[in-house]
Amino acid sequence: MSTRDANGTDRATLVFILVFLLYMFDYIDRQVVTALFPFLKSDLGLSDTQTGLLVSAVYWSIVAFAFPASILVDRWSRKYSVGIMVALWSVATGAAAFVKTFPMLLLTRFGVGVGESGYSPGGTAMISWLYPEEKRSRMLGLWNASIPIGSLLGVVIGGLVAASWGWHRAFGLVALPGLVVGLLFLLLARDYRTVKLEVPARAAFAARKMRAREIVSEFVRKPSLLLTYAAFAGNTFVTSAYLNWMPSYFNRFWDMPMARAGLTTGLVLIFSAGGAPLGGFLADLWGKRRANARPLFAGLASLASAAIWITAFGLLHGTPQLVAMMIGAAVSVLYISGASALTQDVVHPGLWAVSWSLCVIVQNLLGSSLGPLVTGAISDWRDLRTAFLVVPAASALAGCLFLAASRYYVRDKRRVEPVEVEERKTSSAA
């Protein structure tokens, strides 16, 4: 597969930049609501549990629509599926600028999740095609750096705009850029031909279409894959809890105004922007010497993350606590690059997006959607500091699951038939 055209333009780099920007705007639109919690509580009279529900609604919607959206990605078109999803989440975010009640605001957050349900599977599949397997962790790591950057911008922009012009305008402002980049993606991005779901020819047997049970086996008979899905849930439970409640933590326990709390949260989050690329580089580097490096590295990183967060909120205060939170933010995402690559390594290329969508479903259903909600509930019961001390147990569990996955990874990877993935030569989506 060539990613260069006749005039020497690097298509892989162009597509990567576009999918990076779209993932960044995805998280800006997703996380802007967290900086608005105090304003929403005051204006709409919400409890902590209700404000946590505004975050969880996005994840539940993703859970409901990720699988059908991934089928569109794998069986129809990466390019056009992504374009449709960007339009949906941007319009839903913009609609929140016009609502005046909690039920209507909650409905727009469900709409954001519908749009975002197919973007991550589509982007993951495209990057898996654009770059060779030995670079997959690194490139997925660079791509995932857009998550903390987008989250940071969402929190900072949301807090500053809401403090000056109100929370309605914060939603309206962040909705527009994604539409612009989405249009550029449709105009400039390349795609690969839809991969046939076939069993390759062997000896006297011709290639044939995969049976339904063989497709199911691509997932259920791969222990490393199932364990990785579950481990993702443990880690995303922790990161979503901290990501969504950290501004409120600084507001309540450090007596910071909300705008400054958003900026301080951004300072913490910026450290996680380097964690995913670093983790991808280290996982690929270790992979040259150890075949199961990707899940093994993810497991060790997850255990280290749990230890750092427990230390930060159980033993430290003031500046030392802030420093520990910065380190924790970076270490918390070290796992994601190698673990994301694993979900692609051990399945048929025609099922790349479906594999990632199943991971998205598990991590959002059991992790991201529950993290903010459980944290809010513990906060209502005791206080937010207690909640922050409890949640790292999920990362410790994730570490154990990744270590278990490392025992099966090499065997599962060998069971994948080699398939050529070719660039689509026409603009047709067929």
Q: In whole angstroms, give the CA distance from residue 276 to residue 256.
A: 29
Q: Are strands 198-199 and 208-209 parallel, antiparallel or unpaired?
A: antiparallel
pLDDT band per the 50, 70, 90 thresholds, residue 8: very low
Q: Please classify residue 381 by burial: count the beta carbons closer than 10 Å to its beta carbon, then call 0-12 exposed, 13-18 middle and 19+ buried.
A: exposed
Tell me the per-residue pLDDT of 94-107, one tens digit each, with 9 for 90 and over. Answer: 898 888 888 899 99
Q: In whole angstroms, give the CA distance from residue 166 to residue 98.
A: 12
Length of the chain as a residue count = 430
Lowest mean pLDDT among 82-91, 259-268, 341-350, 379-388: 259-268
Q: Can you give the pTM of this predicted structure?
A: 0.78
Q: In whole angstroms, give the CA distance from residue 208 to residue 222.
A: 22
**What's the whole-number average pLDDT of the chain?**
85
pLDDT of residue 331: 96
Q: Around 402, how many Cα atoms within 13 Å sit in the side-chain half-sphere?
A: 32
Tell me the per-residue pLDDT of 113-153, one tens digit each, with 9 for 90 and over. Answer: 888 888 888 888 888 888 887 888 888 888 888 888 888 88
CATH for 11-193+213-414, options being 1.10.20.60, 1.20.1250.20, 3.40.50.1000, 3.60.9.10: 1.20.1250.20
pLDDT of residue 203: 53
Percentage of the chain surpassing pLDDT 90? 32
Q: What angle do CA 358, 360, 365 make, to 5 degrees?
A: 100
Q: In whole angstroms, give the CA distance from residue 139 to residue 103.
A: 39
Q: What are the extents of the domains in the chain?
A: 11-193+213-414
pLDDT band per the 50, 70, 90 thresholds, residue 3: very low
